[in-house]
Structure 1
Amino acid sequence: MTRDLHQARDLAAVLAVRAGQLQLERRDTLRMGAPKAHANDVVSDVDIASESLIVDAIREQWPDDAVQAEEGHGGEGSSGWMWVIDPLDGTRNYVSRTGPWSVCIALYEGDEPRVAVVHEPVAGETFSAVDGGGAFLNGERMSAPAGPPLGQALVGVSFQPNPKTRARAGRVVERLLPVVGDIRRLPAALNLVFQAAGRLDGGVALDTNLWDIAAGALIAREAGVVLGGHGDDFTTELTIGAAPSLWPELSELFRAAA
């Protein structure tokens, strides 16, 4: 079944912006729910409302598409297309007002990502990509630079805050800090799109879910970021990104530490 990917990208961008506006408007009145997988895995009523907004609109347009969404509004489909949605990536930052968060929407055809949108509500920035069509920030094409020397590189670190993964992240940070310029801890989607925009020179994400990285990974790839994991393909267990000139050193370092 064919699909107008630019139409899908445009709808995803509109929905991501709407969800981001909802999040800004309801930040002062949010209500927290019970933690999910562990004490640091938090969710609010705004996460759930944002996901409903996105999923309802997608199902109205493409009722036969499958949906995989973090807060449980997913379902099977018959079209061969699947939407992967994280309505609020970085809930802890959102709730505590200590950092950025984003709305993430990706569209897969079978196992292949075709469309991606990551929207950062506070900055009003919408990162997007269509498979084979390049990466864009607020409609302007972007391309990841080659990268500085490793000792000057700014590197993003993302990880699930469960005890096992925090131990892995500790080993990575211990290896990184002596050899790079500096590090930033970020939600996974922003880690990837900031690499695409050249704000970060590389990054690693540990033990994510598909909805955490699906959109950001396609945008990063389309911008020229090199992606991988323990092998040539990145996975939710290990996603490595780097500017081309930094890939050999950073990928070796991450693989050894993680």
Structure 2
Amino acid sequence: MNLIETITENLRPAAAVLRDRFDVNARPADGAAIVDAIYANDDAVLAVLKEPLLAARPGAGWVEDELEGGELPPGEWWVVDPVEGNINAIHGMPEWGISVTLVRDNEPVLTVVHLPLTGQTYTAIAGEGAYLDGQRLTVSAKTDLGAALVATGQAKPGETEETFRLIGRSVTAMLIGALIVRVSVPATLPLIQVAAGHLDAFWQYSDVRSGLLAGALLVREAGGTVTDLAGKPWSLTSTDFIASAPGVHQAALDVLAAS
């Protein structure tokens, strides 16, 4: 069994745990209830997923906090978000999943994103393409930003006021420059849609690694372009991010630079 198959096999019980916990009628009453529900979901998944992943790659490190950013030490690391979009899950909404990415010397080399409610599994290995349930993914062929569906979102609670202002200005600019703008969380879900060609671009003012690594690899392997907002290759040292179809990438950068 290869590593992708091993990860996918171990995601099945984790997904079952989340499906059992998910309640479309969930309505947390306050901030404390939100925090408690998020941690409870995370803990339930990690209880069945963490040890098998560590056993599958002896010597690999583990990143516990999915809101962290920046470079990792040399070597291999598991970057896992046990409930990507947890805030949606605990409010009874369907936009959430599980993301598992293996990073080697700060480059994503393999990723699996599983959506428990639909059963869909997105996978990518560096240099080997991106797939949805075994079917190869290809980014959009659009070349006109004015016909593009684009997306962004808030990376995490408590961003700086300047970051919120950047997000607001960028959304306004894209409302003028693109066809449709979506604003939502988490980052991984729109990024898999960029990889699949359903969306044409996603940008974010953030360095939260767990929300970007999986999507960055999927988009790259589907033929997309991934940079920072200055047009330089994106890395874990970057403070902002954009992934898009190549035909609209420069136009999107130009619009955001002017915002």
Q: TM bucket by the smaller chain?
A: 0.7 to 0.9
CA contact (8 A) 1:31 1:46 kept: no
Which structure 2 residue ranges, 5 or more long, are not aligned? 68-72
Residue 105 (structure 2) pairs with residue 103 (structure 1): no
Alignment partners' CA distance in 2, 1:247 and 1:202: 8
Alignment partners' CA distance in 1, 2:8 and 2:175: 36
| Shift in CA distance, 63/201, structure 1 to aligned 2, threshold 3 Å | same
Displacement of 1:144: 1.0
Structure-2 residue corresponding to 1:254? 256
CA contact (8 A) 2:22 2:92 kept: no
CA contact (8 A) 2:187 2:212 kept: yes
Alignment partners' CA distance in 1, 2:50 and 2:132: 23
Alignment partners' CA distance in 2, 1:205 and 1:40: 24
CA contact (8 A) 2:27 2:92 kept: no
CA contact (8 A) 1:189 1:212 kept: yes
Alignment partners' CA distance in 1, 2:159 and 2:150: 22
CA contact (8 A) 1:227 1:233 kept: yes
Matches within 5 A, 1:217-236: 217-229=216-228, 230-235=230-235
Alignment partners' CA distance in 2, 1:82 and 1:163: 26
CA contact (8 A) 1:116 1:129 kept: yes
Structure-1 residue corresponding to 2:158? 162
Match of 2:198, SS state, is coil
Displacement of 1:248: 1.1
Matches within 5 A, 1:68-147: 68-70=63-65, 80-147=75-142
- Scaled by the length of structure 2, the TM-score of the pair is 0.84
Q: Comparing 229-238 with 131-140, which one deviates more in the overlay?
A: 229-238
Structure-1 residue corresponding to 2:144? 149
Q: Comparing 229-238 with 140-149, which one deviates more in the overlay?
A: 229-238
Match of 1:117, SS state, is strand
Structure-2 residue corresponding to 1:75? none
CA contact (8 A) 2:66 2:80 kept: no
Question: How many correspondences in the alignment?
Answer: 245
Alignment partners' CA distance in 1, 2:223 and 2:244: 9
| Shift in CA distance, 178/159, structure 1 to aligned 2, threshold 3 Å | same
Displacement of 1:104: 0.8
RMSD of equivalent CA atoms: 3.0
Which amino acid letter does the alignment assign opposite residue 167 of structure 1?
R
Which amino acid letter does the alignment assign opposite residue 232 of structure 1?
K
Structure-1 residue corresponding to 2:53? 58
| Shift in CA distance, 35/60, structure 1 to aligned 2, threshold 3 Å | farther
CA contact (8 A) 1:51 1:71 kept: no
Encode CA deviations 1:140-160: one digit per residue, 9 max, x unaligned: 111112125212211011222
Alignment partners' CA distance in 1, 2:191 and 2:104: 21
CA contact (8 A) 1:69 1:211 kept: no
Structure-1 residue corresponding to 2:197? 198
Encode CA deviations 1:110-136: one digit per residue, 9 max, x unaligned: 222210111122222111101100000
| Shift in CA distance, 30/44, structure 1 to aligned 2, threshold 3 Å | farther
| Shift in CA distance, 194/17, structure 1 to aligned 2, threshold 3 Å | farther
Alignment partners' CA distance in 2, 1:41 and 1:163: 21
Displacement of 1:52: 3.1
Alignment partners' CA distance in 2, 1:185 and 1:40: 22
| Shift in CA distance, 179/41, structure 1 to aligned 2, threshold 3 Å | farther
| Shift in CA distance, 256/20, structure 1 to aligned 2, threshold 3 Å | farther
| Shift in CA distance, 57/219, structure 1 to aligned 2, threshold 3 Å | same
